[in-house]
Structure 1
Amino acid sequence: MKGFRNLLVTVALAIPFTGHALDVVAKSAIIIDATTGKVLWAKDAETPRYPASTTKIMTGLLLIENRLPTDIITAPGDVMNVKEASMHLKPFERVSARDMLYALMLRSANDGCYAVACDIAGSVPKFAQMMNERARQIGCTHTHFDNPNGLNDPLHYTSAHDLARIAREAMKRPEFREVVRTYKKSISRSINSKDCTMVNHNKWLPKDPTADGIKTGYTVPAGHCYVGSATRNGYRVITVVMNSPHWQQDHQNMLKWAFDGYARLPLVQKDSEVGTPPVLGGVKDKVAVATVESVDSLVSRAKLPPNGQPPMRTEFAEPLRAPIKRGQVVGTLVVTDPEGFEQRVPIAATEDVAEATLLPSPGKGSGNFAMLGGALVLGGIVFRGRARRSRYSTQAVRPRSS
């Protein structure tokens, strides 16, 4: 516990707070912590808007999730009918999934998106269904996709917050991160071999050495849109601007605000003991549990605590029953940072708890009595365990490093 407090003091003293107002002209915008998804700042971030080519973040994510890098994407016979095509695919042209991802995210190839949709789902409408289902899984609440490329359609929209959620999910994939931080890439094509250099439309990348993506977008109804990512001070933030006449300035202002005003705050270390919940039917009546991963959060420098521990509680879906193995995940720790943001992390047993066995009895009568007595005792444990359950689900705990 002493080391935990010293760690908080070090963070608080080493990074002085330098706050400033955030000036953003975009109609909608948001900044999130890429690690936790915590919203650091938002402006009208739940309003549905046209996303233009930032749509391709979802298309790229589905390409990664449904095809191997070496799989071949074959362009449909009608690929040349796609509006505003930039890859100039020929009918039945073959491109690897890896190279197609570069074409989507760097050159923003609408015809490449069409080829991907038809290859994965058989048609654009079916691929749009996949996009919408994946958006729901990610947690999007103001999103409906109608095509894979972002060309304007009244039924094709998302919010700044949902777009940040999608980007955060995509950035969990190392292959996606590698692509979107690339400014220029040569790909292999089976037909149009003279047009193989993909140059990123993201003009911010060469301006900022900390930038590592993600995607630009523009149509007249959508205006200029941008989903950006940058890593500084050991952490990454994701920014979204929608319908901005000055997207680069907005993005720059948002990065400065986030990195000047926030710091990573360690909350709980890995392997910290956080409780001893009761166990039913075991040789022990309780078991020590500890975190299986560390917990930290981006917190405003103005709210960094000088010392102490964050509020936390343990939660268990049901009473714990023996046998329990060391390392077995048995519940959840809910940790709250100084700004009220909650994180949930698994907790596991730090020891084995064997199942209790009834002692054999020498005689028939006494055997029946022993079994009856054992049943009564176990019944009492079940009753007490259930009575304790609600207390354990909300009980504050003090972590102890093991």
Structure 2
Amino acid sequence: MFQKRICTKIVSLLLVIGCLMSESVLAEKQKEPEAQTLYSKSCAMVDGDSGRLLYGKEAQTALPNASTTKILTCIVAMEQCKPDEVVTFSAKAASQPKVHLGAKKGEQFYMQDLWYGLMLESYNDCAYAIAEHVAGSAEKFAALMNEKAKKIGCTDSHFVTPNGLDAKDEQGEHHTTAYDLCRIMSYCAWKSPVSKQFLEVTQTRSHTFQSLEGTGYAVSNKNALLDMMDHVITGKTGYTSKAGYCYVAALEEGGRHYAIALLACGWPNHKNYKWSDAKTLFQYGMDAYHLYRGSEASMELPDIEIAQGCRKETLEEWATHAKLPVYVDTDITKLTFLKKDGDTAEIKKVWSDPISLPVKKGQTLGRVSYCMNGRKIYSGKIKAEVSVKKWSPEKFFQIMWKEALLDK
């Protein structure tokens, strides 16, 4: 009996120790990577849905970004061109430095094949030929790139070349930030109308094709993380002597979307630093953040009482106020974003003040912000569900006289 009690206590103690160790291991996994343990001078990880910055190390420092530029080149071209458009290499395109396809002046290709050369092998001449085909010149194409980056939400990026080679113009040097690059990748992977096409190209391991003249070419994917880490869905490497090794990638797992960007992540002979940093950030993201759905949030929008307002021109509706039902134009139940233990999600409502009559159906009356730790990640407009007119004594007597005549 005594031995049985001892055994029971030992088992209980071991279970407690096991639980404590498990909690300790989990806490360690969920701990943010220390900046000094990462090789990148600048890096970022964002929620691919909301765009919220989940981790950053000098994430908003402007730096050259080498061939990671090509994800923007690719998405602009995909949105503006059909895959079977014929692209002719100019002398300028054919003269672009390595790495390059090696096409000759006048050689022709289908646009889709150049996307593979651009994204799998990072060919500079493919980028230049695509840019000239889309916009007429590399300079005009750069304007399209900057316009697209601004629409995506980039705040400190300036693109000069379609291939990411170091360059500058009158507006400054070719650069972006890790945060902005994550925004661009999130758009390419999940938000663009051609995201499916983008992922199809960038997930391809190898591709063979011919020029219209019959010369054969073969390209293979240099994004090793596709096979090194589960759930990675796309990525692009880059290197120049000024930018160092750079990398941008996206991961999708269980409805969670992550984008990372690494800038200045080592120089020769440290080509593999980027894989180490990428795995560290992605693993931290998956361990620390869970999926939070808008349907978990509670938001009630009661009817607004409008003084001296009425929804219908009847005596029964005459009152000192009218109730105005409202709605939000963004369906919160369909929103998803990433949240970790300790994060605080809240909804903030700001009404237009004052709300004056008349109010038209669909009129914006305020805004709703969905915030995480006090920072806005989504917003929507509060709108009137019906129209409300302003009553006056004159209008009251007109309606009263009209209804009195009808009663006769």
Deviation, structure 1 residue 259:
0.7
Q: Is the 8 A contact 1:53 1:216 kept in 2?
A: yes
- The aligned runs of 1:96-115 (5 Å cut-off) are 96-115=110-129
- The aligned runs of 1:279-318 (5 Å cut-off) are 282-283=311-312, 284-290=322-328, 291-294=330-333, 295-301=335-341, 303=342, 310-315=346-351
Structure 2 residue runs without a partner (length 5+): 1-25, 267-272, 313-321, 400-408
1:381 maps to none
CA distance in 2, matches of 1:74, 1:373: 77
2:12 maps to none
1:200 maps to 221
1:11 maps to none
Q: Is the 8 A contact 2:357 2:390 kept in 1?
A: no
Deviation, structure 1 residue 188:
4.7
Bigger RCO (CA 8 Å, 6+ sep): 1
Does the residue aligned with 1:285 lie in a helix, a strand or coil? strand
Using a 3 Å threshold, how does the CA distance of structure 1 residues 212 and 321 change in structure 2: closer, same or farther?
A: farther
1:370 maps to 394
2:259 maps to 238
2:291 maps to 264
Q: Would you say 1:346 and 2:380 are equivalent positions?
A: yes
1:183 maps to 205
Q: Greater CA deviation, 34-43 or 312-321?
A: 312-321
TM-score (norm 2): 0.74
2:145 to 126, 131, 135: 131
CA distance in 2, matches of 1:207, 1:282: 63
Does the residue aligned with 1:112 lie in a helix, a strand or coil? helix
Q: Is the 8 A contact 1:269 1:293 kept in 2?
A: no
Deviation, structure 1 residue 336:
1.6
1:55 maps to 69
Give the fraction of aligned pairs with identical amino acids, expressed as a percent: 26
CA distance in 2, matches of 1:176, 1:374: 64
Residues 272-330 of structure 1, C-alpha deviations (whole Å, 9 max, x = no match): 653424566633531132552423321123x167xxx73431555975855527xx886
Structure 1 residue runs without a partner (length 5+): 1-15, 359-367, 376-402
Q: Would you say 1:324 and 2:346 are equivalent positions?
A: no
Q: Greater CA deviation, 143-152 or 273-282?
A: 273-282
- Alpha-carbon RMSD across the aligned residues, in angstroms, is 3.2
**Amino acid in structure 1 at the alignment position of 2:377:** Q
CA distance in 1, matches of 2:44, 2:395: 63
Q: Is the 8 A contact 1:117 1:124 kept in 2?
A: yes
Q: Would you say 1:168 and 2:186 are equivalent positions?
A: yes
Deviation, structure 1 residue 90:
2.5
Using a 3 Å threshold, how does the CA distance of structure 1 residues 19 and 85 change in structure 2: closer, same or farther?
A: closer
Q: Would you say 1:213 and 2:247 are equivalent positions?
A: no
- Alignment length (residue pairs): 343
When Rg is computed on C-alpha atoms for both structures, the one with the higher figure is 2
Does the residue aligned with 1:264 lie in a helix, a strand or coil? strand
Does the residue aligned with 2:324 lie in a helix, a strand or coil? coil
**Amino acid in structure 2 at the alignment position of 1:282:** R
**Amino acid in structure 2 at the alignment position of 1:370:** E
TM-score (norm 1): 0.75
**Amino acid in structure 2 at the alignment position of 1:249:** S
Deviation, structure 1 residue 110:
0.7
Using a 3 Å threshold, how does the CA distance of structure 1 residues 214 and 92 change in structure 2: closer, same or farther?
A: same
CA distance in 1, matches of 2:356, 2:39: 52
